[in-house]
Amino acid sequence: MKRISILLISFLAFHYSMAQNSMALYRKADSLYNLKEFSGAASAYTDVIKLGSTDPGIYIKGASAWTMANSPDKAFELLDAASQNNKLVGSDYNNLMAARDLTGLKSDKRWKTVEQNFKQRVEANSFPQQELVYGRKDGMGLLMTQIKPKVKPNGRTVIRVLAGSWFSSPAWVERNVYYTRRYLEKGYTVFMVAVGSQPRFAIPDEIGDLKRAVRYIRYNAKQLGVDPDKIGIEGGSAGGHLSLCIATADDKIDANAADPVDRVSSRVQAVAVLFPPTDFFNWGAPGLSVINVRDLQKANRVYGAFDFSMYNNATATYDRVSDTTARNNIGKEISPINSISSDDPPVFIIHGDADPTVPLQQSQVFIARLKEAGVPNNFIIKKGGRHSEDDMMPEVLQFVDWFDKYLK
Protein backbone atom coordinates (compact mmCIF):
# COMPACT_ATOMS: atom_id res chain seq x y z
CA MET A 1 0.00 0.00 0.00
CA LYS A 2 2.84 2.38 0.87
CA ARG A 3 4.45 1.73 -2.51
CA ILE A 4 1.17 2.45 -4.30
CA SER A 5 0.79 5.74 -2.42
CA ILE A 6 4.33 6.80 -3.34
CA LEU A 7 3.70 5.96 -7.00
CA LEU A 8 0.44 7.86 -6.95
CA ILE A 9 1.97 10.96 -5.41
CA SER A 10 4.83 10.89 -7.90
CA PHE A 11 2.45 10.40 -10.83
CA LEU A 12 0.10 13.22 -9.87
CA ALA A 13 2.82 15.60 -8.76
CA PHE A 14 4.44 15.30 -12.19
CA HIS A 15 1.19 16.01 -14.02
CA TYR A 16 0.18 18.75 -11.61
CA SER A 17 3.48 20.57 -12.12
CA MET A 18 2.99 20.44 -15.89
CA ALA A 19 -0.35 22.19 -15.53
CA GLN A 20 1.17 25.14 -13.70
CA ASN A 21 3.34 26.62 -16.49
CA SER A 22 0.80 29.12 -17.83
CA MET A 23 -0.63 29.85 -14.38
CA ALA A 24 2.84 30.44 -12.91
CA LEU A 25 3.60 32.92 -15.68
CA TYR A 26 0.29 34.67 -15.09
CA ARG A 27 1.01 34.96 -11.36
CA LYS A 28 4.46 36.29 -12.17
CA ALA A 29 2.87 38.96 -14.37
CA ASP A 30 0.49 39.98 -11.58
CA SER A 31 3.36 40.10 -9.10
CA LEU A 32 5.47 42.31 -11.36
CA TYR A 33 2.49 44.57 -11.98
CA ASN A 34 1.91 45.00 -8.23
CA LEU A 35 5.59 45.87 -7.86
CA LYS A 36 5.12 48.49 -10.59
CA GLU A 37 7.62 46.73 -12.83
CA PHE A 38 5.36 47.40 -15.77
CA SER A 39 7.65 46.44 -18.67
CA GLY A 40 8.29 43.02 -17.17
CA ALA A 41 4.61 42.57 -16.34
CA ALA A 42 3.56 43.54 -19.86
CA SER A 43 5.96 41.06 -21.42
CA ALA A 44 4.77 38.32 -19.05
CA TYR A 45 1.06 38.95 -19.81
CA THR A 46 1.88 38.89 -23.53
CA ASP A 47 3.71 35.59 -23.08
CA VAL A 48 0.64 34.12 -21.35
CA ILE A 49 -1.40 35.11 -24.41
CA LYS A 50 1.19 33.53 -26.71
CA LEU A 51 0.80 30.29 -24.73
CA GLY A 52 -2.80 30.21 -25.90
CA SER A 53 -4.82 32.18 -23.37
CA THR A 54 -7.95 33.72 -24.88
CA ASP A 55 -9.23 35.30 -21.66
CA PRO A 56 -10.08 38.94 -22.53
CA GLY A 57 -9.20 39.97 -18.98
CA ILE A 58 -5.56 39.09 -19.57
CA TYR A 59 -5.53 41.22 -22.72
CA ILE A 60 -6.87 44.17 -20.72
CA LYS A 61 -4.29 43.63 -17.98
CA GLY A 62 -1.56 43.38 -20.59
CA ALA A 63 -2.75 46.59 -22.23
CA SER A 64 -2.74 48.33 -18.85
CA ALA A 65 0.83 47.22 -18.25
CA TRP A 66 2.00 48.36 -21.70
CA THR A 67 0.28 51.72 -21.10
CA MET A 68 2.12 52.20 -17.81
CA ALA A 69 5.34 51.15 -19.56
CA ASN A 70 4.80 54.00 -22.05
CA SER A 71 4.12 51.68 -24.99
CA PRO A 72 0.65 52.75 -26.19
CA ASP A 73 0.96 51.07 -29.58
CA LYS A 74 1.43 47.67 -27.93
CA ALA A 75 -1.44 48.43 -25.58
CA PHE A 76 -3.79 49.20 -28.46
CA GLU A 77 -2.62 46.07 -30.24
CA LEU A 78 -3.86 43.96 -27.33
CA LEU A 79 -7.10 45.92 -26.98
CA ASP A 80 -7.84 45.60 -30.70
CA ALA A 81 -7.36 41.84 -30.43
CA ALA A 82 -9.59 41.69 -27.32
CA SER A 83 -12.37 43.62 -29.09
CA GLN A 84 -12.65 40.82 -31.66
CA ASN A 85 -12.75 38.05 -29.06
CA ASN A 86 -15.86 35.85 -29.15
CA LYS A 87 -15.50 35.38 -25.38
CA LEU A 88 -15.91 39.09 -24.68
CA VAL A 89 -18.74 39.77 -22.19
CA GLY A 90 -20.26 42.74 -20.40
CA SER A 91 -17.95 42.56 -17.40
CA ASP A 92 -14.96 42.85 -19.75
CA TYR A 93 -16.34 46.09 -21.13
CA ASN A 94 -16.91 47.35 -17.58
CA ASN A 95 -13.34 46.42 -16.67
CA LEU A 96 -12.05 48.24 -19.74
CA MET A 97 -13.85 51.44 -18.79
CA ALA A 98 -12.89 51.18 -15.11
CA ALA A 99 -9.18 50.42 -15.63
CA ARG A 100 -7.38 53.43 -14.20
CA ASP A 101 -4.07 52.51 -15.79
CA LEU A 102 -5.67 52.81 -19.24
CA THR A 103 -6.57 56.46 -18.62
CA GLY A 104 -3.54 57.58 -20.57
CA LEU A 105 -5.01 56.00 -23.73
CA LYS A 106 -8.36 57.77 -23.59
CA SER A 107 -7.06 60.95 -25.17
CA ASP A 108 -5.78 58.93 -28.14
CA LYS A 109 -8.08 59.03 -31.19
CA ARG A 110 -7.92 55.21 -31.33
CA TRP A 111 -9.72 54.87 -27.99
CA LYS A 112 -13.23 55.60 -29.30
CA THR A 113 -12.84 52.87 -31.91
CA VAL A 114 -11.76 50.36 -29.26
CA GLU A 115 -14.67 51.31 -27.01
CA GLN A 116 -17.18 51.01 -29.85
CA ASN A 117 -15.78 47.66 -30.97
CA PHE A 118 -16.00 46.33 -27.41
CA LYS A 119 -19.67 47.31 -27.19
CA GLN A 120 -20.54 45.72 -30.53
CA ARG A 121 -18.77 42.48 -29.70
CA VAL A 122 -20.41 42.23 -26.27
CA GLU A 123 -23.84 42.66 -27.86
CA ALA A 124 -23.08 40.01 -30.49
CA ASN A 125 -21.90 37.59 -27.81
CA SER A 126 -24.97 38.04 -25.58
CA PHE A 127 -28.14 35.91 -25.41
CA PRO A 128 -31.36 36.38 -23.41
CA GLN A 129 -31.08 34.81 -19.98
CA GLN A 130 -32.95 34.35 -16.73
CA GLU A 131 -31.71 33.19 -13.35
CA LEU A 132 -33.83 30.50 -11.67
CA VAL A 133 -33.87 28.95 -8.20
CA TYR A 134 -34.11 25.20 -8.82
CA GLY A 135 -33.98 24.16 -5.18
CA ARG A 136 -33.20 25.20 -1.65
CA LYS A 137 -31.01 23.67 1.06
CA ASP A 138 -29.45 24.85 4.29
CA GLY A 139 -31.32 28.13 3.98
CA MET A 140 -29.81 28.90 0.56
CA GLY A 141 -31.07 28.82 -2.99
CA LEU A 142 -29.59 26.60 -5.69
CA LEU A 143 -29.19 28.61 -8.89
CA MET A 144 -29.29 27.88 -12.58
CA THR A 145 -29.43 30.27 -15.49
CA GLN A 146 -31.62 29.65 -18.52
CA ILE A 147 -29.98 30.89 -21.73
CA LYS A 148 -32.43 31.30 -24.58
CA PRO A 149 -31.60 31.13 -28.29
CA LYS A 150 -32.12 34.15 -30.52
CA VAL A 151 -33.53 31.88 -33.23
CA LYS A 152 -36.72 29.82 -32.92
CA PRO A 153 -36.32 27.31 -30.04
CA ASN A 154 -36.25 23.67 -31.12
CA GLY A 155 -37.44 22.34 -27.74
CA ARG A 156 -34.18 20.55 -27.03
CA THR A 157 -32.22 21.24 -23.85
CA VAL A 158 -28.56 21.04 -22.94
CA ILE A 159 -27.53 21.33 -19.30
CA ARG A 160 -24.03 22.70 -18.83
CA VAL A 161 -22.60 21.77 -15.44
CA LEU A 162 -20.61 24.66 -13.96
CA ALA A 163 -17.90 22.81 -12.06
CA GLY A 164 -14.11 22.75 -12.11
CA SER A 165 -12.21 20.80 -9.45
CA TRP A 166 -15.72 20.45 -7.95
CA PHE A 167 -15.84 24.20 -7.34
CA SER A 168 -19.02 25.75 -8.72
CA SER A 169 -20.33 29.29 -9.01
CA PRO A 170 -23.18 31.10 -10.79
CA ALA A 171 -20.62 33.84 -11.46
CA TRP A 172 -19.19 31.61 -14.20
CA VAL A 173 -22.32 31.88 -16.33
CA GLU A 174 -21.33 34.97 -18.29
CA ARG A 175 -18.04 33.55 -19.53
CA ASN A 176 -19.52 30.12 -20.28
CA VAL A 177 -22.05 31.50 -22.76
CA TYR A 178 -19.26 31.40 -25.35
CA TYR A 179 -18.96 27.63 -25.02
CA THR A 180 -22.69 27.06 -25.49
CA ARG A 181 -23.16 29.24 -28.59
CA ARG A 182 -22.88 26.11 -30.71
CA TYR A 183 -26.22 24.98 -29.22
CA LEU A 184 -27.93 28.36 -28.95
CA GLU A 185 -27.34 29.15 -32.59
CA LYS A 186 -29.21 25.96 -33.54
CA GLY A 187 -32.21 26.68 -31.32
CA TYR A 188 -31.26 24.75 -28.19
CA THR A 189 -32.17 26.13 -24.78
CA VAL A 190 -29.22 25.95 -22.39
CA PHE A 191 -29.36 25.70 -18.62
CA MET A 192 -26.16 26.52 -16.79
CA VAL A 193 -26.32 24.78 -13.43
CA ALA A 194 -24.30 25.69 -10.37
CA VAL A 195 -24.23 23.05 -7.64
CA GLY A 196 -23.22 23.21 -3.99
CA SER A 197 -19.50 23.87 -4.17
CA GLN A 198 -16.56 22.34 -2.39
CA PRO A 199 -15.07 22.90 0.14
CA ARG A 200 -18.45 23.42 1.79
CA PHE A 201 -20.11 20.53 -0.04
CA ALA A 202 -18.58 17.23 -1.14
CA ILE A 203 -19.15 15.28 -4.36
CA PRO A 204 -22.20 13.29 -3.14
CA ASP A 205 -23.94 16.58 -2.31
CA GLU A 206 -23.12 17.96 -5.75
CA ILE A 207 -24.56 14.88 -7.45
CA GLY A 208 -27.77 15.32 -5.46
CA ASP A 209 -28.00 18.96 -6.50
CA LEU A 210 -27.53 18.10 -10.17
CA LYS A 211 -30.26 15.46 -10.02
CA ARG A 212 -32.53 18.10 -8.55
CA ALA A 213 -31.68 20.46 -11.41
CA VAL A 214 -32.66 17.86 -14.02
CA ARG A 215 -35.92 17.19 -12.20
CA TYR A 216 -36.68 20.90 -11.97
CA ILE A 217 -36.26 21.37 -15.71
CA ARG A 218 -38.37 18.30 -16.50
CA TYR A 219 -41.15 19.23 -14.07
CA ASN A 220 -41.30 22.82 -15.36
CA ALA A 221 -40.66 21.94 -19.01
CA LYS A 222 -43.84 23.51 -20.38
CA GLN A 223 -43.27 26.78 -18.52
CA LEU A 224 -39.62 26.83 -19.62
CA GLY A 225 -40.50 26.09 -23.26
CA VAL A 226 -38.59 22.81 -23.56
CA ASP A 227 -39.36 19.15 -24.23
CA PRO A 228 -39.09 17.08 -21.00
CA ASP A 229 -37.89 14.07 -23.00
CA LYS A 230 -35.09 15.85 -24.86
CA ILE A 231 -32.59 16.74 -22.16
CA GLY A 232 -28.84 16.42 -22.71
CA ILE A 233 -26.01 17.18 -20.31
CA GLU A 234 -22.42 18.30 -20.79
CA GLY A 235 -19.42 19.44 -18.79
CA GLY A 236 -15.65 19.33 -18.61
CA SER A 237 -13.39 17.84 -15.95
CA ALA A 238 -15.39 17.86 -12.67
CA GLY A 239 -18.43 18.97 -14.69
CA GLY A 240 -17.88 15.98 -16.96
CA HIS A 241 -17.57 13.67 -13.95
CA LEU A 242 -20.82 14.94 -12.44
CA SER A 243 -22.55 14.60 -15.81
CA LEU A 244 -21.50 10.95 -16.03
CA CYS A 245 -22.70 10.37 -12.47
CA ILE A 246 -26.14 11.57 -13.54
CA ALA A 247 -26.03 9.54 -16.75
CA THR A 248 -25.20 6.25 -15.00
CA ALA A 249 -27.37 6.69 -11.90
CA ASP A 250 -30.32 4.42 -11.26
CA ASP A 251 -33.52 6.26 -12.12
CA LYS A 252 -35.09 6.11 -8.66
CA ILE A 253 -38.24 8.20 -8.38
CA ASP A 254 -39.78 9.01 -5.01
CA ALA A 255 -43.49 9.07 -5.79
CA ASN A 256 -44.23 10.16 -2.20
CA ALA A 257 -41.81 13.10 -2.08
CA ALA A 258 -43.25 16.21 -0.44
CA ASP A 259 -41.98 18.40 -3.27
CA PRO A 260 -43.61 17.48 -6.61
CA VAL A 261 -40.37 18.34 -8.42
CA ASP A 262 -38.75 15.37 -6.69
CA ARG A 263 -41.45 13.02 -8.01
CA VAL A 264 -40.14 13.14 -11.59
CA SER A 265 -37.16 11.48 -13.26
CA SER A 266 -33.61 12.80 -13.15
CA ARG A 267 -32.65 10.81 -16.26
CA VAL A 268 -31.06 12.52 -19.25
CA GLN A 269 -31.24 11.33 -22.85
CA ALA A 270 -27.69 12.04 -24.04
CA VAL A 271 -24.28 13.03 -22.64
CA ALA A 272 -21.20 14.78 -24.09
CA VAL A 273 -18.22 15.50 -21.85
CA LEU A 274 -14.57 16.50 -21.85
CA PHE A 275 -11.70 14.86 -19.94
CA PRO A 276 -13.81 13.49 -17.06
CA PRO A 277 -12.62 11.69 -13.91
CA THR A 278 -14.40 8.32 -13.91
CA ASP A 279 -12.60 5.96 -11.51
CA PHE A 280 -11.04 7.23 -8.28
CA PHE A 281 -9.63 3.78 -7.44
CA ASN A 282 -7.56 3.42 -10.61
CA TRP A 283 -6.23 6.90 -11.22
CA GLY A 284 -3.93 6.69 -14.21
CA ALA A 285 -2.99 3.07 -13.47
CA PRO A 286 -4.59 0.02 -11.81
CA GLY A 287 -4.75 0.21 -8.03
CA LEU A 288 -3.89 3.91 -7.63
CA SER A 289 -6.68 5.17 -5.38
CA VAL A 290 -7.08 8.86 -4.54
CA ILE A 291 -9.99 8.49 -2.11
CA ASN A 292 -7.94 8.37 1.08
CA VAL A 293 -4.79 10.27 0.07
CA ARG A 294 -5.76 13.38 1.99
CA ASP A 295 -2.48 15.32 1.76
CA LEU A 296 -2.52 14.96 -2.00
CA GLN A 297 -6.13 16.16 -2.13
CA LYS A 298 -5.16 19.26 -0.18
CA ALA A 299 -2.14 19.89 -2.39
CA ASN A 300 -4.39 19.76 -5.45
CA ARG A 301 -7.10 21.88 -3.80
CA VAL A 302 -9.81 19.22 -4.01
CA TYR A 303 -9.89 18.12 -0.35
CA GLY A 304 -13.39 19.46 0.20
CA ALA A 305 -14.78 17.38 -2.65
CA PHE A 306 -13.75 14.22 -0.79
CA ASP A 307 -14.56 15.45 2.73
CA PHE A 308 -17.53 13.11 3.08
CA SER A 309 -20.04 13.51 5.90
CA MET A 310 -23.23 11.78 7.02
CA TYR A 311 -26.21 13.28 8.82
CA ASN A 312 -26.60 12.13 12.41
CA ASN A 313 -30.26 12.17 13.46
CA ALA A 314 -29.43 11.76 17.13
CA THR A 315 -27.29 14.89 17.34
CA ALA A 316 -28.66 16.84 14.34
CA THR A 317 -25.12 17.20 13.03
CA TYR A 318 -23.14 16.23 9.98
CA ASP A 319 -20.39 13.87 11.12
CA ARG A 320 -17.24 13.47 9.06
CA VAL A 321 -16.74 10.02 7.53
CA SER A 322 -13.26 8.94 8.58
CA ASP A 323 -13.53 5.15 8.46
CA THR A 324 -11.53 3.88 5.47
CA THR A 325 -14.04 1.22 4.50
CA ALA A 326 -16.94 3.66 4.64
CA ARG A 327 -14.98 6.20 2.61
CA ASN A 328 -14.15 3.57 0.01
CA ASN A 329 -17.83 2.66 -0.30
CA ILE A 330 -18.70 6.29 -1.00
CA GLY A 331 -15.75 6.47 -3.40
CA LYS A 332 -17.18 3.58 -5.39
CA GLU A 333 -20.57 5.26 -5.55
CA ILE A 334 -19.12 8.50 -6.93
CA SER A 335 -16.93 6.71 -9.51
CA PRO A 336 -19.36 6.50 -12.45
CA ILE A 337 -17.47 3.58 -14.00
CA ASN A 338 -19.02 1.38 -11.29
CA SER A 339 -22.59 2.32 -12.24
CA ILE A 340 -22.63 1.63 -15.98
CA SER A 341 -25.58 -0.42 -17.23
CA SER A 342 -27.06 -1.24 -20.62
CA ASP A 343 -29.90 1.30 -20.25
CA ASP A 344 -27.58 4.28 -19.84
CA PRO A 345 -27.92 7.17 -22.33
CA PRO A 346 -25.43 7.56 -25.23
CA VAL A 347 -22.09 9.04 -24.16
CA PHE A 348 -19.58 11.08 -26.18
CA ILE A 349 -16.16 11.81 -24.64
CA ILE A 350 -13.24 13.88 -25.92
CA HIS A 351 -9.95 13.71 -24.01
CA GLY A 352 -6.50 15.02 -24.91
CA ASP A 353 -3.46 12.76 -24.90
CA ALA A 354 -1.41 15.55 -23.28
CA ASP A 355 -3.84 16.22 -20.42
CA PRO A 356 -1.77 17.20 -17.35
CA THR A 357 -4.68 17.00 -14.90
CA VAL A 358 -6.95 14.02 -15.60
CA PRO A 359 -5.24 10.94 -17.07
CA LEU A 360 -6.44 9.89 -20.52
CA GLN A 361 -6.81 6.43 -19.01
CA GLN A 362 -9.90 7.66 -17.13
CA SER A 363 -11.82 8.06 -20.38
CA GLN A 364 -10.31 4.99 -22.04
CA VAL A 365 -11.48 2.58 -19.35
CA PHE A 366 -14.89 4.22 -19.17
CA ILE A 367 -15.47 3.89 -22.90
CA ALA A 368 -14.33 0.26 -22.78
CA ARG A 369 -16.91 -0.45 -20.08
CA LEU A 370 -19.64 1.31 -22.09
CA LYS A 371 -18.85 -0.92 -25.06
CA GLU A 372 -19.07 -4.01 -22.87
CA ALA A 373 -22.51 -2.88 -21.68
CA GLY A 374 -23.70 -2.09 -25.22
CA VAL A 375 -24.22 1.62 -24.54
CA PRO A 376 -23.93 3.83 -27.67
CA ASN A 377 -20.76 5.87 -27.43
CA ASN A 378 -18.19 7.93 -29.29
CA PHE A 379 -14.63 8.67 -28.20
CA ILE A 380 -12.09 11.07 -29.62
CA ILE A 381 -8.51 11.26 -28.38
CA LYS A 382 -7.30 14.76 -29.16
CA LYS A 383 -3.64 14.67 -30.14
CA GLY A 384 -1.72 17.23 -28.09
CA GLY A 385 -4.88 18.21 -26.24
CA ARG A 386 -4.42 19.51 -22.72
CA HIS A 387 -6.96 20.14 -19.95
CA SER A 388 -8.78 22.92 -21.77
CA GLU A 389 -11.96 23.11 -23.80
CA ASP A 390 -10.19 25.45 -26.19
CA ASP A 391 -7.74 22.63 -26.96
CA MET A 392 -10.66 20.42 -28.03
CA MET A 393 -11.51 22.54 -31.07
CA PRO A 394 -12.78 21.79 -33.63
CA GLU A 395 -13.74 18.30 -32.46
CA VAL A 396 -15.94 19.62 -29.65
CA LEU A 397 -18.28 21.10 -32.27
CA GLN A 398 -19.37 17.51 -32.93
CA PHE A 399 -21.22 17.61 -29.61
CA VAL A 400 -24.06 19.43 -31.38
CA ASP A 401 -24.42 16.62 -33.91
CA TRP A 402 -24.41 14.12 -31.05
CA PHE A 403 -27.30 15.85 -29.30
CA ASP A 404 -29.10 16.33 -32.62
CA LYS A 405 -28.92 12.58 -33.12
CA TYR A 406 -30.07 11.43 -29.70
CA LEU A 407 -32.44 14.21 -28.60
CA LYS A 408 -34.94 13.49 -31.35
- For residue 346, the 8-state DSSP code is P
For residue 383, what pLDDT is reported? 96
Q: Domains, the chain, ranges and CATH?
A: 2-125 (1.25.40.10), 129-406 (3.40.50.1820)
C-alpha angle 327-194-320 in degrees, rounded to nearest 5: 25
- pLDDT tens-digit series, residues 202-260: 999 999 999 999 999 999 999 999 999 999 999 999 999 999 999 999 888 888 999 99
309-312/317-320 β-pairing:
antiparallel
Average pLDDT over residues 344-370: 97
**pLDDT value of residue 51:** 84
Sign of CA dihedral 216, 217, 218, 219: positive
Average pLDDT over residues 287-302: 93
pLDDT at 12 > cutoff 80: no
**Considering the chain, what percentage of its residues have pLDDT values greater than 70?**
95
pLDDT range class, residue 52, cuts 50, 70, 90: confident
Q: What pLDDT was estimated at residue 15?
A: 44
Phi, psi of 379 (to 5 degrees): -140, 125
Distance CA 116, CA 333 (A): 52
pLDDT band for position 16 (50/70/90)? very low
The whole-number pLDDT of residue 17 equals 40
pLDDT at 251: 84
Tens digit of each residue's pLDDT (9 = 90 or more) over 71-91: 999 999 999 999 999 999 999
Rounded CA-CA distance 224/148 in Å is 10
- Provide the CB-side half-sphere exposure for 293 (13 A, CA): 25
Q: Is the peptide bond before 359 cis (omega within 30 degrees of 0)?
A: no
Instruction: Check: CB of residue 149 under 8 Å from CB of residue 231.
Output: no
DSSP 308: -
Question: At 284, phi and psi to the nearest 5?
Answer: 90, -20
Question: DSSP state, 259?
Answer: S
Model confidence band, residue 14 (pLDDT cutoffs 50, 70, 90):
very low
pTM of the model: 0.88
Please tell me the number of Cα atoms within 13 Å of 383 on its side-chain side: 0
What confidence score (pLDDT) does residue 20 get? 47
For residues 261-279, one letter each, b for 16 or more C-beta atoms within 10 angstroms of the residue's C-beta and e for the rest, the string is: bbebbbbbbbbbbbbbbbb
Q: Is the pLDDT of residue 149 over 90?
A: yes
CA dihedral 167, 171, 172, 178 (to 10 degrees): 170
| Nearest of 157, 391, 196 to residue 309 by alpha carbon | 196
DSSP designation for 186: T
Q: What is the DSSP letter of 10?
A: H
* Average pLDDT of the chain to the nearest whole number: 93
Over range 363-382, report the average pLDDT: 98
pLDDT tens digits, one per residue of 296-326: 899 989 999 999 999 999 999 999 999 999 9
CA distance 203 to 322: 16
The pLDDT, as a whole number, for residue 8 is 52
Cα 235 to Cα 8, 230, 406, distances in angstroms? 26, 17, 17
Angle between helices 110-125 and 72-82 (to 10 degrees): 20
Higher pLDDT, 393 or 7: 393
pLDDT bracket for residue 53 (50, 70, 90): confident
Type and span of the H or E element at 297: helix 294-299
On the question of pLDDT at 401 being above 50, the answer is yes
pLDDT of residue 252: 83
What percent of the chain is modeled with pLDDT above 90?
89
318-338 as b/e, with b when 16 or more CB fall inside 10 Å?
Answer: eeebeeeeebeebbeebbbbe
pLDDT band at 24 (very low <50, low <70, confident <90, very high): confident
Q: Which residues have C-beta within 8 Å of that of residue 69, sequence separation ≥ 6?
A: 38, 39, 41, 42
For residue 247, what are the contacts with CB-CB under 8 A and spacing of at least 6? 233, 268, 271, 336, 344, 345, 347
State yes or no: pLDDT of 70 exceeds 60.
yes
| Mean pLDDT, residues 391-395 | 95
